[in-house]
Structure 1
């Protein structure tokens, strides 16, 4: 276990000699807004290290320098949360990266394959996951915890090499690159408080309601960050919806809401919420947000979506790619309703070649689906 800056710098120097390294982190975030980094695991083909970020006076600068090194590929499994931690602690996005979960979907391992499933299928090794939900902030860590943590990066080396070979053999390396560009974008992690309302499901129908939703959600986001507590500890989603719909302008009205704890309306936080509500209501009508209107799908669109689902399943099985990587349910809805003009990922790049064009052909009546020989297949129709 590395517990000093000098040892960390020496280890990172050795790791930087490799073309790639595997990385994982252990953290806690049940009671905090920002995840508490408790352990860093890294491995190259020749070096394996565990780093204690909770060690007294340790400086993680050498680790962040390694994450920014453009000559070393950083291999993660399900990278988003690990990268979020690195971004919040080091104000950088690791580059370049390779996410084995995404690569596995591109290589036909199914949707969101877990790490232990990936290792089992690529190495025929069973990983004991019993230490997964232990308290990683307590010291000392047990031998079982350390063994589990190290296995998260040692087996990942072989899984990466396997997937890399498969991607090159199938000519799909560029497919993965598009997904990695999203994971390497700062916008993926640097969410502005004013955009926090986008995390909520839009259940509102009036501009005033949406304005309150935006202002209260932004206040909650700033409050949760400053206090380093989960959003729900500040104000639950249901309370934000009720506040937006009932539009309380004073403490008495706020106290009548069923989602507000008794007496909360007289607190400083209650006053802050009322200020957000009244600020939203004071907006000129011209500055009120517009409630997005759901486009009315054309007649028969629902049936068309069902056909597109079958086509997607057929193509994903044929090419060994998880359906989720090609198109999601919103993509199918929009393709069925908007056709060629649907602005979705499935209509661009390799996804269009694989699925988008056949989907348009199906909509235009140029191909059909038929059941033949106990399987579904496409058939060209006469012009």
Structure 2
């Protein structure tokens, strides 16, 4: 079936989909040479048909598509939605809502961490995905029939996967578990990069407030430059060059020119002046307004075994309930719980606390123990009374 490549056909197709309770959505895009993704193909699946839409077709207006994406009466089903949603937000001005991410749903249903679409299609839709088109350059026209059919498979099998996942979530009472994750995906703030916070993406080698102030200004300059020129950040200036400049904070062209990884042409041009101006802003930042490095949870000395026990408990609980451990807690969360009973981490709130957090605190304080079942192969929780730590051994002189 040919792609939709004109506005009238797109509008008619979107009108038909408006009566659906849900639609399946996927995109193909290119981003290797740009800051903003280039939308090359959109696949939409309804109850009875699926079509590919050509955003690169001359004269096509995607307004009917964006109106459908914003229609609150139609659920939009994605797999690994984040990058697709970012494209719709950037180009259409709004997050597609309401939305459902089958990757997250699969994590709740015991398919493991970040399950791929091919695995989901195979296990739930009994479909085999032809991977030969995976590295297609979707910007090249014309696309072959094989390419289009490959792209459409990303929304046709998704219908079956979605329906089976929903039934499973309803059966085990876990639909509400997705609420928090879907709210995060639907929040426009999730996708908007504030240049003033771009420095947080880096891995600074120093925690000096002055170094961080210069790094913050440099990273903000690079982010705006990348956005305006539509170039990847690393094409504007590499991370290591950015941190090198922040460390030595050059104040003139000659000093900047001695920075490793920066060319003479850049130093002597407008970008060189912009870099020096960013350095100056960082150096002029008042001491009390310099950035503070993110807090790092320091596990108190001697709690290493507690951390390891909590990790065992997490795996045990997630295996028992068929939930991906990544969705419940990560290593930083475990460290935080070991250090502080009131740590503000997801694992100590809502359904995660019921599944893991409550028992994690009990295990930490000795009210629960871990032991093997009689088969010697499975772990179980054992109620226990806390034991006071033994007094230090006497030292005989």
1:300 is the counterpart of 2:302: yes
Moved more, 171-180 or 362-371: 362-371
Query: Alignment partner of 2:39: what SS?
Result: strand
- Please, which runs of 5 or more residues in structure 2 have no aligned partner? 387-397
Q: CA RMSD in A?
A: 1.2
Between the aligned partners of 1:293 and 1:60, the Cα distance in structure 2 is 44
CA offset at residue 290 of structure 1?
2.7
Off by >3 Å, runs of 4+ in structure 1: 291-296
Moved more, 185-194 or 218-227: 185-194
Between the aligned partners of 1:227 and 1:311, the Cα distance in structure 2 is 49
Between the aligned partners of 2:297 and 2:155, the Cα distance in structure 1 is 47
- Report matched runs for 1:68-83 at 5 Å: 68-83=70-85
Query: Paired residue for 1:344?
Result: 345
Query: Paired residue for 1:290?
Result: 292
Q: 1:294 to 1:105 in 2, by over 3 A?
A: closer
Between the aligned partners of 1:123 and 1:2, the Cα distance in structure 2 is 26
1:21 to 12, 19, 23: 23
- Give the number of the structure whose alpha-carbon radius of gyration is greater: 2
Count of aligned pairs: 382
Between the aligned partners of 1:289 and 1:39, the Cα distance in structure 2 is 41
- Please, which runs of 5 or more residues in structure 1 have no aligned partner? none
Q: 1:346 to 1:199 in 2, by over 3 A?
A: same
Query: Paired residue for 1:177?
Result: 179
Query: Alignment partner of 1:130: what SS?
Result: helix
Alpha carbons 2:22, 2:46 under 8 Å: kept: yes
Query: Paired residue for 2:91?
Result: 89
Alpha carbons 2:195, 2:220 under 8 Å: kept: yes
Between the aligned partners of 2:137 and 2:66, the Cα distance in structure 1 is 24
Query: Alignment partner of 2:240: what SS?
Result: helix
Q: 1:345 to 1:293 in 2, by over 3 A?
A: closer
- Report matched runs for 1:120-139 at 5 Å: 120-139=122-141
CA offset at residue 27 of structure 1?
0.5
1:7 is the counterpart of 2:9: yes
1:358 is the counterpart of 2:355: no
Query: Alignment partner of 1:18: what SS?
Result: coil
Query: Paired residue for 1:50?
Result: 52
Between the aligned partners of 1:312 and 1:203, the Cα distance in structure 2 is 32
Between the aligned partners of 1:365 and 1:261, the Cα distance in structure 2 is 60
CA offset at residue 263 of structure 1?
4.3
Alpha carbons 1:105, 1:112 under 8 Å: kept: yes
Query: Paired residue for 1:237?
Result: 239
Alpha carbons 1:242, 1:259 under 8 Å: kept: no
Alpha carbons 2:109, 2:322 under 8 Å: kept: yes
Query: Paired residue for 2:317?
Result: 315
Alpha carbons 1:14, 1:47 under 8 Å: kept: no
Query: Paired residue for 2:377?
Result: 374
Query: Paired residue for 1:60?
Result: 62
CA offset at residue 272 of structure 1?
0.7
Between the aligned partners of 1:361 and 1:296, the Cα distance in structure 2 is 21
Query: Alignment partner of 1:359: what SS?
Result: helix
Over residues 362-381 of structure 1, what are the superposed CA-to-partner deviations in whole Å (9 max), with x where a residue is unaligned? 11111011234222221110
Moved more, 102-111 or 204-213: 204-213
Between the aligned partners of 2:294 and 2:124, the Cα distance in structure 1 is 46
Between the aligned partners of 1:296 and 1:37, the Cα distance in structure 2 is 43
Q: 1:362 to 1:202 in 2, by over 3 A?
A: farther
